[in-house]
Amino acid sequence: LRRGDGRTIWSALELLTALCDAVADALARGGGAAPSRVDSWPQRWVAALTGDDPVVELPDEHIADALASWAAGALHTEGQARLCVRLHAPDRTRRTGETWLLSFHLQSVVDPDVLVSADEVWSTGSDVLRLAGRAVAAPQDLLVHSLAEAARLFPPIDACLSEQRPTGVRLDTDQAAEFLTRGVAALTEAGIGVIVPDELTGRGALRLRGRIRAGHSAEEDARGSGFDRESLATFRWEAAIGDETLTKEDLERLVAANRPLVRWKGRWVRVDTQEAGKLARLIGRRGALSASETLAVALAGRRDTAELGEVEVVADGTVRELVERLRSAEAAREPRLVGVEARLRGYQRRGVAWLQSMTELGLGVVLADDMGLGKTLQAICLLAGRDGTRPHLVVCPTSVVGNWERELARFAPHLPVIRHHGPDRPTESDRFTPGAVVVTTYTMLRRDIDLLAAVDWDVVVLDEAQQIKNQSAQATRAAGRLRAAARVALTGTPVENRLSELWSIMNFVNPGLLGPFDRFKERFVVPVERWRDPDATRRLRQVVAPFLLRRVKAEVAADLPPKQESIVACTLTREQATLYQAAVTTLLQEGLGTGIERRGRILKLLTALKQICNHPAQYLGEGGPLAGRSGKLARATEMLAEVVAAGDRALVFTQYRVMGEMLARHLAAELDLPYVPFLHGGVGRVQRDRMVETFQTDDSSPPLLIVSLRAGGFGLNLTRATHVLHYDRWWNPAVEDQATDRAHRIGQTSAVNVYKLVTRGTLEERIADLLEHKRELAEAVVGTGETWLTELSDDELRALVQLSDFGEAE
């Protein structure tokens, strides 16, 4: 081709070349171009995501190949052998410098201690390798496949796979550190064996770490090893490797090295370079901790810090001594039993010794023994052994005020007892004489807190301490204001539903020990309750355990008799007291008469008084609300709630069908049970047998069974029950014993606790005294039930039934 001026534009060859280029370009860019190779599946996947066609066709044979390749590593671990990689630290004696070796082996799955090196695997001339007495087929293929999987998980291994017979790979120090921090976990999870020198992993590992050394000043140490809530402790930051504390210069050299693995005095040490930099700025810095926080972190051995997260805590001086004493307090010594008129069982002696050891240190405690193991007696022994220079305070539910007074009089008669309850209670603190035991209620605590908080008490005891499980309740806040040398909480259920309850009780006995509630919630409540975090559970137990003693019946079975019987004193409400006094006054004013008429009148009075003590609704024949009207019902409900919370079973005996029906209705509602069965004389044989079988064999059935005393006297085997509660008394020991023996008989493998409820200041208390203190005479005289009471003179009867100091319930 030529232009008009005669110059050539294109030669024939140039045109042909240009045409070929254009055609080739068009074919390559057009849809008809055939690729010289098939794109990889990731490329096809990306193309489908970015192109118009979102579908990627995957033939079945490709799926099978991909799955086989993906599962190859896991399949090999199910055989007789698996790949194992072993890290070797640089050998200083051979001048290998900073070169690490990761050697390859086959490891027996049956006996991981048996290893065969890769060199031996390659040199074997057989298709079968003997390993730990078992045949491993195609060991070389196994090694090759496994190394490919290992290289995917820890890429530095890939460097040796081009070798014909790889036996290991060399790593620099940074790669060795990467292997320790990430490779070990990835390989282990894939089923590949990993062996690391003891000095680099597990308990033998050496790491640079920050820690806090906590203790009192020298002046505080000189004062002794007691616990003063008002004191402050100091702490300082340290850097440590193993047990060795580093100087600031040592730490600066490690920071300057800026390496994740450092040789330190002949051993390799792992160093978090970022943490080391922070620690260099903290080392030597000091701070202050409250006494409670110091004790808590010293017991836990750890403390959360804003600077380095959780760090180790080392206790010094008196703090260390205190921690050591706490951890051995229960077995420290024999108890001092001063003026105690009781024979203690072995576990009770240990409990008293623990109470004495802890309170002498100025520490508060929680005694959380199972119901029926004698928490009240152990607390009384503690009070009896104090020096008597200040008064003690016992705070309890109204329903057990009488029981405390009775037990104090019985076991420690030398201790003066002052009841702070009712309209005649003391209004001036000077009435609380040194050495006296002041017994009050949670209601009075709230009402008279200004008076009670102004007293310097020796020991404050909170009975049924679950009453303060709500941290915002008035009773809880009032209890926190009490001043005492030592605080003791008694409860059979330190945690009923939530850890917040434990915090509230522990915050009373040792304020600040568990920190502010918001912090406690973050550290323990959420991790333990929501995530079941075992580490958080362990840390909480470390802090709480020295201050909480709990024995369940199974632990102390050798110390327990087959049957333990207790009198439980109850109080009258104002309504009960009014009805009781009116019934007595009316009959005595009308006169008793003579002969049969006299007997009838007396029996009618006795029945009325017993019904009033049970519940006003039983006496009045009404079906109104039951709660808050009977001290006996309130106490029974509290005791049975503890039984249910502990997962135990109980029988409740009553003489009266009406009372049994009321109990069944009330307990089901109060204890959140679907129903409470009531076995009485009107229950047919088939239904009776079904009730007994259900109670004995069905773990999902209600744990309570109410039984009328007469219906339960014969032919019943109720050995699942470990608690027996006599709601009202038959006043015939033989009848009561027969009922109790429904639970305590052949087939019973646990101790049985028998509780007899008695209303203070009434005929119930006076007859109970007769039965308890003159049992042989009572069995001979009373024998046939209540008829003997009709033979008393007018004066004797008046003395028996007259209402005395009854400790009115709120």
pLDDT at 299 over 50: yes
Total Cβ atoms within 10 A of residue 480: 16
pLDDT of 29 reads: 61
- The H-assigned helical ranges of 305-448 are 317-327, 346-360, 375-384, 401-411, 442-447
Q: Name the nearest CA neighbour of 216 among 233, 228, 204, 201.
A: 233
Q: At a CB cut-off of 8 Å and minimum separation 6, what does 141 contact? A: none
pLDDT at 142 over 80: yes
Q: What's the whole-number mean pLDDT along residues 401-410?
A: 89
Q: At a CB cut-off of 8 Å and minimum separation 6, what does 515 contact? A: 293, 296, 523
Q: Name the nearest CA neighbour of 41 among 62, 64, 71.
A: 62
Domain ranges, ordered by start, for the chain? 70-196, 206-326, 329-549, 563-801
pLDDT of 469 reads: 92
DSSP 567: E
432 or 199: which carries more pLDDT confidence? Answer: 432
Q: What predicted TM-score, i.e. pTM, was given to this entire model?
A: 0.66
- 544-548: long-range pairs with CB below 8 Å, 24+: 544/502, 544/506, 544/514, 546/299, 546/326, 546/327, 546/329, 547/326, 547/358, 547/363, 547/364, 547/365, 547/366, 547/506, 547/509, 547/510, 547/513, 548/365, 548/366, 548/368, 548/494, 548/506
Beta-ladder partners of 441: 396
Q: What is the pLDDT of residues 88-133, one digit of tens each?
A: 998 766 665 679 999 999 999 989 999 999 999 999 877 888 888 8
pLDDT of 781 reads: 41
- Show the CA angle centred on residue 369, arms to residues 367 and 372, nearest 5°: 130
> Torsions phi, psi of 310, nearest 5?
-80, 125
pLDDT of 9 reads: 53
> Torsions phi, psi of 703, nearest 5?
-80, 0
Is 99 buried (19+), middle (13-18) or exposed (0-12) by CB count in 10 A? middle
662 or 313: which carries more pLDDT confidence? Answer: 662
Domain at 563-801: CATH code: 3.40.50.300
Alpha-carbon distance of 114 to 135, in angstroms, equals 13
pLDDT at 714 over 50: no
Of the listed ranges 74-83, 425-434, 435-444, the one predicted with least confidence: 74-83
Q: Name the nearest CA neighbour of 107 among 224, 14, 9, 193.
A: 193
pLDDT at 3 over 50: no
Q: What is the pLDDT of residues 641-664, one digit of tens each?
A: 999 998 999 999 999 999 999 999
Give one DSSP letter per residue of 106-172, joined into a string.
EEESS-TT-EEEHHHHHH--SSEEEETTEEEESHHHHHHHHHHHHHHHSGGGGGGTTSSS--EEEE-
Alpha-carbon distance of 598 to 613, in angstroms, equals 23
pLDDT of 36 reads: 42
Q: What is the pLDDT of residues 674-710, one digit of tens each?
A: 999 999 888 887 888 789 889 989 999 999 999 986 6
Alpha-carbon distance of 571 to 629, in angstroms, equals 11
Alpha-carbon distance of 719 to 747, in angstroms, equals 6
Q: Which two tokens stand for residue 402?
A: 């009488």
pLDDT of 35 reads: 44
Q: Positive or negative CA dihedral for 770, 774, 778, 779? A: positive
Q: How confident is the model at residue 806 (pLDDT cuts 50, 70, 90)?
A: low
Alpha-carbon distance of 707 to 694, in angstroms, equals 14
657 sits in which H/E element? helix 657-670
Of the listed ranges 4-8, 76-80, 496-500, 550-554, the one predicted with least confidence: 4-8
Total Cβ atoms within 10 A of residue 724: 26
pLDDT at 784 over 70: no
Alpha-carbon distance of 91 to 73, in angstroms, equals 32
Alpha-carbon distance of 641 to 663, in angstroms, equals 13
- The H-assigned helical ranges of 391-516 are 401-411, 442-447, 449-453, 474-480, 499-509
pLDDT of 529 reads: 87
* Contact criterion met (CB below 8 Å) for 647 and 622: no
Length of the chain counted residue by residue: 810
pLDDT of 72 reads: 47
Question: Percentage of the chain with pLDDT > 70?
Answer: 83
Give one DSSP letter per residue of 515-530, joined into a string.
--HHHHIIIIIIIIII
Pairing of strands 267-270, 286-290: unpaired
* 507 conformational bin, left if phi > 0, alpha if psi -120 to 50, beta if neither: alpha
* 242 conformational bin, left if phi > 0, alpha if psi -120 to 50, beta if neither: left
Of the listed ranges 23-37, 249-263, 466-480, the one predicted with least confidence: 23-37
Query: What is the largest distance, in Å, between two alpha-carbon atoms of the chain?
Result: 164
Query: Does domain 329-549 sit in CATH 3.40.720.10?
Result: no
Identify the residue whose tokens are 């429904």.
742
Q: What is the pLDDT of residues 341-385, one digit of tens each?
A: 999 999 999 999 999 988 988 889 999 998 888 899 999 999 999
Q: At a CB cut-off of 8 Å and minimum separation 6, what does 698 contact? A: none
Domain 329-549 identical in fold to domain 563-801: yes
Q: How many helices (H) and strands (E) does the chain have?
A: 31, 28
Q: Which two tokens stand for residue 358?
A: 């802890």
Q: What is the pLDDT of residues 716-767, one digit of tens each?
A: 678 889 999 999 987 766 667 767 766 665 456 678 899 999 999 999 998 8
Q: What is the pLDDT of residues 512-537, one digit of tens each?
A: 889 899 999 999 999 998 888 988 99
Alpha-carbon distance of 140 to 122, in angstroms, equals 6
Q: How confident is the model at residue 198 (pLDDT cuts 50, 70, 90)?
A: confident
Give one DSSP letter per residue of 274-305, joined into a string.
HHHHHHHHHTT-EEEEEHHHHHHHHHHSEEEE
pLDDT of 75 reads: 45
Q: How confident is the model at residue 788 (pLDDT cuts 50, 70, 90)?
A: low
Question: Percentage of the chain with pLDDT > 90?
Answer: 42
pLDDT of 377 reads: 95
pLDDT at 78 over 50: no
- Show the CA angle centred on residue 81, arms to residues 78 and 84, nearest 5°: 110
Q: What is the pLDDT of residues 439-484, one digit of tens each?
A: 999 999 999 999 999 999 999 999 999 999 999 999 999 999 999 9
Alpha-carbon distance of 235 to 285, in angstroms, equals 8
pLDDT at 611 over 60: yes
Q: What's the whole-number mean pLDDT along residues 408-417?
A: 95
